[in-house]
């Protein structure tokens, strides 16, 4: 057991030097505060065009930027469109100082972009394409590549296509995935920091010319183009980004909901689907006035209109009236005098789409494109809605049980660091010196006082790291400490590089599910239990929000700490002898282990010499966690235990 951080009014808190694990105790004279934590929002992907990069970008509202477009040269290599783009990419990378988690992705292709069919056509050409993509990412320090092939097997945009595109596209993505993963390993970009691979996908016939049921396994996600459903190529007007079917729509008309369902039917996981929204509208002229121009024939396609232009010049102006289609959940403009019709997205429709993303557990939202927004209005709608969604979403983190210890992969400064989750550790993170050096943690110049297993008081240097990520939960400006465990300690021999304490996780209900090898972090405001249920046992008030409770046994009542860093349940020799004065054994079995209104006995405790603060009698360890799902509900200061 390691109890990092303070217990109020206690200078030297716990010298819990358990002889059977050699675990050192941590103490502090001053009370540390848990650092603020927030769940990473579901993906918010902004397309930014090289020819209209907006002067003011708010990276804190984005998770990814797709820079459009890279192109394919005559040799089948991925290249930048012109030399000046390198400076633009450098400016985008600089945004990471304001949002270290921001990923910059190069999007290759676009409407009328040539070269994909040839690049995908053979093993040799696919390798050329993939190798050049990796080289480009490395040269410009980018985080991934997005393929916007419009479209495989089709020449509607005037590009070359061939029947083999259908299978070749899958092979191209497979080759890219293999090359990107190899490069990720070589560059030390592991787990959530690996090189990303995404595509822009469409619906209907797009599925006829691709192997969507196969290719999605190579992708991190798909940017679903749920817009441009009505344009210069369609015979009537309609909602170009409608969420649902209009009441006047033809049976063959498209909508976003139908597109999502088609993707799901192909076996693509919902959390890989990023719903596209449009920051622009499409105008039609000479429109039949029936239904105020909705789903009517027209004389000519008029123009595309950025949302900023719509707000400044057209909505409620020049004879245009905003209408709302309650069934499609989409706005449109109608000019009864000129018979002009404009279809677009606005804050109301986008907010409804954000709710759709949340209720269908999709992977986020993307939009084309950022410069067309009006004073950040549409992006603010997305960021606000999805940030609230993230705050309600549980974070599921796999664990590896190495021996008795639950090891969690934690991202620190883009590096995967295996840490033991130690609920007997009331600090944030304790890292080995090697990890501190590798992630370039910054010393604070402060120390905490602690005890080694022999009871000697030592100083623990503190350091600061800007970002720690556990699953999709992100913690910023974390102050941790040096892990000074005895090198012979068992845990260091199973690959751990430090400890993860409870202070970092205080905003969550932490569900420890050893049988299924996972930990789930449930935000305090979440509407779902996500496994945090069962017999309720309050934390002991004396321990100020730490997982210490009272257990009732036939030996007596004891205050115990729930410690994932300890292999067995333990009673101090002092507590055991008070319960049974004649006790001489190394262990004792209680017929009853009452927690709340449930009895989990009989239960065996190891009897150990251990120094504990007054009123503290022992530990509940791995032997209990291995067979029960235990939720440490820190916000409510209680445990919930499932039999």
C-alpha to C-alpha distance for 399 and 582, rounded to whole angstroms = 42
Helices 165-186 and 123-140, interaxial angle, to 10°?
A: 40
What is the CA 276 to chain-centroid distance, rounded?
Answer: 19
Pairing outcome for strands 473-482 and 429-431: parallel
Angstrom distances, CA of residue 305 to CA of 278, 286, 309, 333: 11, 17, 6, 12
Backbone angles phi, psi at 299, to 5 degrees: -85, -40
Do 231 and 282 touch, CB atoms closer than 8 A?
A: yes
Do 518 and 397 touch, CB atoms closer than 8 A?
A: yes
C-alpha to C-alpha distance for 330 and 484, rounded to whole angstroms = 60
Helices 347-359 and 256-265, interaxial angle, to 10°?
A: 20
Given 139, 150, 302, 377, the catalytic residue: 150
> Residue 200 contacts by C-beta under 8 Å, 6 or more apart in sequence?
107, 109, 146, 147, 148, 149, 150, 222, 223, 224, 225, 276
| Residue 150 annotated in active site | yes
Question: And the tokens for 485?
Answer: 């465990």
Do 244 and 328 touch, CB atoms closer than 8 A?
A: yes
Angstrom distances, CA of residue 609 to CA of 16, 583, 586, 617, 635: 9, 13, 10, 11, 33
Residue 43's H or E segment, with its range, is: strand 43-49
> Residue 97 contacts by C-beta under 8 Å, 6 or more apart in sequence?
none
Residue 38's H or E segment, with its range, is: strand 37-39
> Residue 308 contacts by C-beta under 8 Å, 6 or more apart in sequence?
372, 373, 374, 375
Backbone angles phi, psi at 434, to 5 degrees: -60, -40
Does the CA dihedral 198-203-208-214 come out positive or negative? positive
Q: Is 593 exposed, middle or buried (0-12, 13-18, 19+ CB in 10 A)?
A: buried
Helix then strand then coil, in percent of the chain rounded to 5, is 25, 35, 40
Do 370 and 281 touch, CB atoms closer than 8 A?
A: no
Question: And the tokens for 90?
Answer: 């450098």
Any idea what the Cα angle at residue 623 is, between residues 617 and 629, rounded to 5°?
A: 100
Closest of 411, 428, 246, 442 to residue 325, by C-alpha: 246
What DSSP state is assigned to residue 185? H
Give the count of alpha carbons within 13 A of 493, CB side only.
Answer: 9
Helices 123-140 and 85-94, interaxial angle, to 10°?
A: 60
486 conformational bin, left if phi > 0, alpha if psi -120 to 50, beta if neither: beta
Residues annotated catalytic, as ranges: 150
């Amino acid at each position: 057991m390691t109890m990092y951080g303070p217990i109020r009014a206690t200078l030297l808190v716990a010298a819990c030097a358990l002889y059977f694990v050699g675990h050192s105790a941590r103490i502090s004279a001053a009370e540390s505060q848990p650092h603020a934590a927030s769940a990473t929002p579901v993906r918010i992907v902004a397309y930014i065009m090289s020819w209209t990069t907006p002067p003011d970008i708010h990276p804190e509202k984005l998770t990814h930027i797709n820079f459009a477009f890279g192109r394919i040269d005559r040799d089948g290599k991925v290249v930048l469109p012109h030399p000046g783009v390198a400076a633009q990419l450098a400016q985008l990378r600089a945004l990471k100082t304001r949002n270290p988690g921001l990923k910059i992705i190069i999007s290759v292709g676009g409407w009328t972009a040539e070269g994909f069919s040839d690049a995908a056509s053979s093993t040799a050409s696919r390798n050329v394409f993939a190798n050049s993509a990796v080289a480009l990412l490395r040269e410009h320090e980018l985080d991934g590549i997005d393929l916007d092939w419009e479209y495989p097997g089709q020449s509607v945009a005037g590009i070359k296509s061939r029947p083999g595109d259908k299978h070749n596209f899958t092979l191209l993505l497979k080759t890219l995935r293999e090359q990107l993963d190899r490069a990720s390993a070589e560059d030390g970009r592991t787990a959530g920091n690996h090189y990303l691979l995404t595509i822009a996908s469409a619906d209907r016939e797009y599925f006829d010319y691709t192997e969507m049921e196969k290719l999605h396994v190579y992708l991190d996600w798909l940017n679903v183009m749920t817009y441009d459903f009505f344009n210069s190529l369609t015979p009537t007007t309609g909602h170009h980004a409608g969420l649902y079917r209009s009441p006047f729509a033809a049976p063959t008309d498209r909508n976003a909901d139908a597109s999502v369902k088609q993707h799901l039917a192909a076996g693509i996981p919902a959390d890989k689907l990023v719903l596209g929204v449009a920051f622009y509208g499409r105008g039609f002229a000479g429109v039949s006035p029936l239904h105020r121009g909705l789903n009517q024939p027209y004389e000519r396609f008029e123009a595309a209109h950025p949302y900023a232009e719509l707000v400044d010049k057209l909505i409620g102006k020049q004879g245009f009236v905003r209408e709302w289609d309650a069934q499609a959940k989409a706005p449109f403009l109608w000019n009864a005098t000129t018979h002009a019709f404009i279809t677009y997205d606005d804050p109301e429709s986008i907010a409804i789409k954000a709710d759709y993303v949340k209720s269908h557990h999709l992977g986020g939202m993307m939009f084309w494109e950022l410069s067309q927004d009006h004073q950040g209005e549409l992006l603010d709608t997305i960021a606000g809605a999805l940030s609230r969604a993230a705050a309600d979403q549980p974070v599921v983190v796999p664990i590896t049980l190495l021996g008795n210890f639950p090891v969690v992969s934690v991202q620190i400064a883009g590096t995967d660091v295996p840490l033991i989750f130690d609920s007997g550790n009331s600090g944030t993170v304790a890292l080995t010196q090697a990890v501190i050096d590798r992630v370039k943690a910054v010393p604070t110049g402060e120390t905490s006082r602690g005890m080694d297993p022999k009871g000697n008081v030592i100083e623990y240097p503190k350091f600061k790291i800007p970002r720690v990520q556990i699953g999709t939960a992100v913690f910023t400006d974390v102050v941790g400490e040096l892990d000074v465990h005895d090198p012979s300690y068992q845990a260091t021999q199973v690959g751990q590089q430090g400890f993860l304490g409870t202070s970092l996780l205080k905003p969550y209900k932490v569900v420890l599910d050893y049988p299924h090898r996972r930990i789930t972090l449930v935000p305090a405001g979440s509407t779902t239990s996500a496994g945090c249920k069962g017999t309720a046992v309050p934390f002991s008030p004396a321990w100020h929000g730490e997982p210490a409770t009272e257990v009732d046994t036939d030996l007596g009542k004891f205050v115990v700490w729930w410690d994932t860093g300890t292999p067995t349940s333990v009673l101090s020799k002092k507590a055991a002898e008070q319960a049974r004065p004649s006790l001489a054994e190394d262990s004792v079995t209680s017929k009853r282990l009452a927690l709340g209104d449930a009895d989990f006995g009989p239960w065996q405790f190891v009897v150990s010499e251990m120094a504990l603060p007054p009123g503290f009698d022992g530990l509940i360890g791995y032997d209990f966690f291995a067979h029960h799902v235990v939720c440490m509900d820190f916000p409510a200061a209680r445990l919930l235990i499932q039999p």
